[in-house]
A = this chain, B = another copy of it.
Amino acid sequence: MAANVLEEGISKKELQPEASPPDIKAMAEQFLATFYQAFDSDRTTLGQLFRPESKLTFEGETYTGPEKILLKYISLPFKQVVHEISTYDSHLTIDGTLLIVVVGRLKTDDNPPLSFTETFNLKQFGDGLFVMNDIFRLSLHNS
């Protein structure tokens, strides 16, 4: 039903969507596998994906730098966590960063799954890709 609501009424020739460059898609996929596998198996390893300039906003609270970001992640009170990616989209920006938006579900301990969205902005330093911006929100609404 959702597809019906938002899909185009008329298929127009000039409105052909573009294919994503395969390298961007592969880089995004590889990063997401690395990040969420680390998160779900051993959160203490996440610090190495961030740099001193990196910012995390988690449920509206902002932390800068690998130490504070890692401390925030390891302070989350659940023991077990599984991230399940439903969709992700990626753009190479004109500044050469890789922007990734994830929509997914999160299962912690014995709690029911929660819908979340997480946006990453990745930048290359030396041989590595680092998370410069990480914005996490549960998909919750008033009323």
Contacts and interface: CB of A to CB of B under 8 A. Distances in A.
A55 to B, nearest CB: 5
A22 interface: no
A89 B17 contact: no
Contact of A91 (B15, B57, B76): B57
A10 to B, nearest CB: 7
Interface residues of A, number: 62
Contacts of A14: 68, 71
Interface of A: 1-2, 5-10, 12, 14-15, 17-20, 53, 55, 57, 59-64, 68, 71-72, 75-78, 84, 86-87, 89, 91, 93-95, 97, 99, 101, 103-105, 108, 111, 114-115, 117, 119, 121, 123, 132-133, 135, 137-142
